[in-house]
Amino acid sequence: MSDMQLYIGSDLLDFNGKVNVKRQVADYTDLSLGGTVTSYTIDVPLTMGNKPKLGYIEDVRSRVEVTEQARLVANGMEIIRGKLRILRANTEKCVIIIEGNDWISDISGISIKDLSWAGGDEHEFTSANILASWTAAAGAFYRYPLINFGGLISGDHGLSGSDLFPYDFYMGWHIETIITKILLDAGYTLDTSGFFASTFGRSLYLFSDPKPALDDFISGKELAVSVTNNSDNSDTTFLGIGASGGVNITKVLDINTKTTDEGNDWSIANDRYTVPADGTYRFQAQIKIDSDMNNGDGTVYTVTLNSLTWSIRNNSSPIFSYSNTGNNLFDTGNSFTLDTGYIYLEAGDHIDIYVNAVCQGTNISGVGQNADIFIIQGTISSFFTALWSEHNLWPGVGQTISPSKYLPDMDSIDLLKGLKEAFNLRFWVDRNNKKVYCETSDDFYGSTVIDWTDKIDYSSLPGLEVIASKYEINQKFRWKPSDGDKAYDNFVASSGVPFEKELILESEYAKAGLRDNENLALAATVLGDMPQIGHFSQSKIPRIFGGNEFVGSGYYYPPFRSKEWGPRIMEWKGMVALTKGDFDYFDDFEDTSGTNYTTFPSMETPDMNDVFDDFMVKDWNRIEKNKIVTCELVLTPAEIMKFMTVVGTAANEGFRATYKMNIEGVEMYFMVGSIITDGNRVKAVLIQKL
Amino acid sequence: MAITISSHPAEVITNAPEFTVTTSLTEGASQQNLRIRATVYIGGVDEAVAVLEQPKGLDDWDFFKLLKSLTGKCNEAVGGSDIHVQPGISAELLSSWTAQLGDFTTFSSTGRKINSAISSGGFGPDYAKSNDLGSAALGEMFIVAVENDFVDSGTEKAQIALSSDSTGFGAIPRVNYAGMISGELNNNHIYFFLVTAATSTPTLWVGNDDPDTNFSGTFSVHKITDFKDNPGIYFQVKFSEVYENASDVTIVTGTKSADTLLFMPVSVRPGETFSQYLITGSGKKFLSRAEDGDTLYKHDIGMELRLMYVSVAAYMTARVAVDAGTNIEADISNLGWGILVMNSEGGFTYNPDSDDQSIIFQIDAVINGGSSIYTGAVATVLCEMNCYADIKALSFIGDLGEETVIFRGLYTENGGAEKSYWKNQNRIRKVLNAYKKKVEILRTLYETEGIRRLIHQLTYTEKDVWMFNSDFEDNYREVTVLTDSVVIEDKRTLLETDIEVEYYE
């Protein structure tokens, strides 16, 4: 007699059957398989009462789809709840299944960059943020590690003290935050005490694949403009004998000569550059100022004030400014330059140069005469130019770095699978509380022991399966190859696959052959020297090289950053000592007081040998030595319920407890891999634990 | 938003743990997948034992099967010396009262007794607070007895609450007991408090949230120290509203606790009500043997008779009256359920010296403040002195709790084996595995209508069955009743009815 009720929403269906539901957290015959919660097929009679509840599915004209959740209740206990899937129907019955793991389909097919990232998840590409990321507390959403991408922006190469700028860095994203967002978007929360709350779990970052601008961006934008006439930016005033007064230039620099303007972006009428497209720009400007009111002509004027403030502006707001005072400031031939470095601008921004030059003094020449000041004309004296190179393809200062753009275009489920494979994780979903528990295998199975000896139903004999027979003798564990990464390829050619763990099973029952357990989604980054900063023969710094030829002998790195590499997993190590070499870090090209670093912001790909020792060795010992026991059990509703939802303490019950059973006089300890239940009897797949 | 528990058991002890629970929330974009969650706690377990959910619209909850699956046979070994078995209890925890809150115009107390607590006018709660009751860990059970002298003539009736706050009564977690019969405390009545939120300073509060109280009486507080494997289960259900909000985040809110109740896993006969078994006044019944009215005790080594009762009364007396006139009495601090025990070895021993000598088992609730009025359950036990070979008894959980049926002895015994074979090179079967077991067929000792029903119950009991046999090492062995039908055509055939049991030897 069936004691099952089938509900759609709160509607009870006419149903008198018996259905099994499978709940699985791990399959030790194939560790790559994860959790499953689904019912077996259910034959629902199409009674008059059931037809409307099932959307008149037997009528081919019906377009009604049932959207409410289905629930199967046995002995007053819900054994599965989830998405109703109608497979087929005829006039008498409808065949359905209930999927309790619909959270996986909820996140499947959604790229991590398309999650519901909001403004608070973004940051600005600034020197301050890059520096802050080096020392931010655990769990920081982004960090900018030192990666050897090839030639430095500064072009420096040497034993030590090379200059690094913000533009030399690229970001990695905090994996725990991404996982939390994936689950949140699917309506689930990540339990706060699991793998990602551990020190190691929190230190994992997904280093972004490159998102450079298209090469077209740096073509057709050459710009070189200059001051046409001295009089265009000048001031004159007459000072009588002994008179005091001054001249000044306070204006947007009048530039009327276009030497080059490929994009026709400079307006002579408005003396400004209109940014043609969003992207990273670099401008240099120089002005040369002359005035007869300076100490060099001290027999004519007594100078009381010479001052200069000038800036390159964006929409009238200074981007970079220079200010100075001094009686010799305007001696003939004195020139002043500004370099914006790589800044991010948006289409329509207006870039101009604003000058405020002031000379004040007293005429001591004994004759009245004109005092003047002017900006010297000419393409080599006072000019404004745009600089273009490969570096303009990368983020510029001021750019908003949003996860929706800079995270890899990676399917959420692929990231979860990649992490699950890498760290031997177990995911268990408490659907009632919409909470996902993620633990390493070692932590997932708790030490709380529950005795199931009296629960075994010997109506069918417990079956034993040798786990090792499912596995090849040779097992290799490796990260995904780093496609398009010449540094990786070179490493493989010279030293073999990096971070690879090789395991040879000792079990006589293992199959002949090799299984390559290559990570589905996450690539490795090799370590090496960084001669650009004098880091030789230590091989501590991750490197990612593109296909460009190396710079040359001794300069065994490409001149520019690669534009292709796959997303890769990295562990944040903090600021690590550079035992050889050092570097000076500058905020920008106008920064003259750089900070010397003998440590560097370090991220490394976890070595599979360490990962194996930390997260897999126990399971692989079980695979080698232990057995799977399949047996039938009779459990109370309260006991079965603990495989569905957290009832008391998550770590001590359901799939996470350790079960003791005395089988034929032998006491053994087990973990539960899966259960199939109709609410009364349970067929359990148990993995011998000890 | 609010949860309303519109229907719940009428007494603190029930065999029908059923509730009707509704929520005022409505399904919508900000409250999707609206459902009610029931989190079930039981005495002696330091965390929830079950979490169930039903969507809004399914308002009726029945925890019978769930709770029954958690019950067990009283784990008090046979042959003990106790006249009476009940959950183990602590010493008295209550020692004093203070007027903690309110506008009491009169308040005086002596020890456990509140002599007078009268409030008039003013506003706000008026409560008397007990001394610190010690500690209250999750899963611990307090039993509060409102003794016989309790009188409440106030406009606002006194209520009781177990609180974790020793100083105030504001925003503090407290276990309120809202299910008092007729909305007010009954005298000579017990109330249960299961601790579902641990506290180091539990206190008992008596009073009302509104002024104008006028009550007096003596109270008693004990904590249960041994649940005896839960023949009856103290439980509490917390109902919560659960939904996913507009951001698809699961929200659990509006939690409301039902009162702590004692569940007895019994099914009364059609036409009867469970209240007929609650010993509060005259005409009540023992649970076990209740269908019979009287029973038979076979004096033999290891044989033991147990009679189970349930009662909400605070004052109880267990009494055994032998027809020769000897009374043996014991006062009981009632904890809801208990078992009277008679055997041939213990301190409460009665060895009948003649056939059909009768013994009256009696559990009395003391009413009207007097100690001489006994009106509880009565069971008469007839003693059997005849000698039978291989007397057997089956003890099991029947419709009304733990029962014992005596059989006149072995009728048929099959020493059996369960074997599997393989064939050797001579094509003869060889034993691969063999497990020995024994099948016995028993016949009843005497005939009554009650025995017929018990025999029937034996065929469908889901719980374990124990067979008494003095040859067994500890006198009892777990067996399985294989018989699944009983046909009785006349009274005599009952004595020829076979009950087949199987056990491992």
Tokens 């009843």 correspond to what residue? B444
Q: Do A321 and A282 contact (CB within 8 A), yes or no? A: no
What is the average per-residue pLDDT within B366-376? 53
Compare CB distances from B69 to A433, A637, A649 and report the shortest one's residue. A637
**Distance of alpha carbon B166 from alpha carbon B161, whole angstroms:** 12
**pLDDT for the residue numbered A205:** 97
Compare CB distances from A77 to B66, B242, B247 and report the shortest one's residue. B66
Tokens 């007097």 correspond to what residue? B370
Find how far residue A585's CA is from the centre of its chain. Answer: 24
Q: Do B148 and B112 contact (CB within 8 A), yes or no? A: no
Share of chain B above pLDDT 90, in %: 28
Residue type at position A422: A
Question: How do residues B314-355 score in pLDDT, each as one tens digit?
Answer: 877 777 766 555 666 777 788 999 988 877 665 455 665 665
Tell me the pLDDT band of B74, cut-offs 50, 70 and 90. confident
Q: How far is A621 from chain B (nearest CA, A)?
A: 31
A49-81 residues labelled b (16+ CB within 10 A) or e (exposed) = ebbebbbebbeeeeeeebeebbbbbbbbbbbbb
Q: Where are the alpha helices (DSSP H) in A402-451?
A: 403-406, 412-423, 441-444
**pLDDT for the residue numbered B76:** 81
Positive or negative torsion for Cα B181, B184, B187, B191: positive
What is the average per-residue pLDDT within A419-441? 89
Q: Is A126 on the interface with B (CB under 8 A)?
A: no
Question: How do residues A446-498 score in pLDDT, each as one tens digit?
Answer: 888 999 998 888 888 888 889 999 899 999 999 999 888 999 999 999 999 99
Q: Which residues of B touch A436 (CB under 8 A)?
A: none
Question: How do residues A380-417 score in pLDDT, each as one tens digit?
Answer: 999 999 999 999 999 999 999 999 999 999 999 899 98
| Chain B residues near any Cβ of chain A (below 8 Å) | 33, 37, 45-58, 62-66, 69-70, 242, 244, 247-250, 252
B346-376 residues labelled b (16+ CB within 10 A) or e (exposed) = eebebebeeeebebebbbbbbbeeeeeebbb
Q: How far is B208 from chain A (nearest CA, A)?
A: 34
Structure-block tokens of residue B439: 């099948």
What is the average per-residue pLDDT within B183-208? 86
Q: How far is B503 from chain A (nearest CA, A)?
A: 14
Compare CB distances from B53 to A78, A187, A646 and report the shortest one's residue. A78
With a CB cutoff of 8 Å and minimum separation 6, the contacts of A3 are: A74, A75, A679, A680
Q: How far is B82 from chain A (nearest CA, A)?
A: 30
Q: Which residues of A touch B246 (CB under 8 A)?
A: none
Tokens 């979490």 correspond to what residue? B51
**pLDDT for the residue numbered B177:** 61
ipTM of the predicted structure? 0.72
Asked whether the beta carbons of residue B70 and residue A638 sit closer than 8 angstroms, the reply is yes
Asked whether the beta carbons of residue B69 and residue A636 sit closer than 8 angstroms, the reply is yes
Q: Which residues of A touch B48 (CB under 8 A)?
A: 647-648
Q: What is the CB neighbour count within 10 angstroms for residue A27? A: 18
**A637: closest chain B residue by CA:** B66
Find how far residue A607's CA is from the centre of its chain. Answer: 20
Mutation target to probe the A interface, by most A beta carbons within 10 A, among B31, B42, B46, B52 is: B52
Alpha-carbon separation of residue B346 from A644, B85, B382 (angstroms): 47, 13, 19
**B64: closest chain A residue by CA:** A76
Largest CA distance in chain A: 125
**Distance of alpha carbon B312 from alpha carbon A340, whole angstroms:** 87
Q: How far is B68 from chain A (nearest CA, A)?
A: 10
What is the average per-residue pLDDT within A361-386? 91
Q: Is A181 on the interface with B (CB under 8 A)?
A: no
Q: Is A75 on the interface with B (CB under 8 A)?
A: yes
Q: Is A433 on the interface with B (CB under 8 A)?
A: yes
Residue A523 is given by DSSP the state: E
At A532, is the secondary structure helix, strand, or coil?
Answer: helix
Question: How do residues B298-317 score in pLDDT, each as one tens digit?
Answer: 666 556 778 888 998 887 77
Q: How far is A48 from chain B (nearest CA, A)?
A: 21
Q: Which residues of A touch B49 (CB under 8 A)?
A: 638, 647-648
Q: Which residues of A touch B265 (CB under 8 A)?
A: none
Asked whether the beta carbons of residue B52 and residue A69 sit closer than 8 angstroms, the reply is no
Q: How far is B468 from chain A (nearest CA, A)?
A: 21
Asked whether the beta carbons of residue A637 and residue B63 sit closer than 8 angstroms, the reply is no
Alpha-carbon separation of residue B452 from A225, B16, B305 (angstroms): 114, 25, 18
Mutation target to probe the B interface, by most B beta carbons within 10 A, among A75, A79, A434 is: A434
Q: Which residues of B touch A71 (CB under 8 A)?
A: 55
**pLDDT for the residue numbered A286:** 96
Q: Tell me how many residue pairs between chain A and chain B have CB atoms under 8 A apart.
A: 75
* β B498-504/B476-481 pair status: antiparallel
Residue A614 is given by DSSP the state: I
Tell me the pLDDT band of B171, cut-offs 50, 70 and 90. very low
Q: How far is B408 from chain A (nearest CA, A)?
A: 31
For A330, phi and psi rounded to 5 degrees?
-110, 25
The pTM score is 0.81
Q: Is A638 on the interface with B (CB under 8 A)?
A: yes
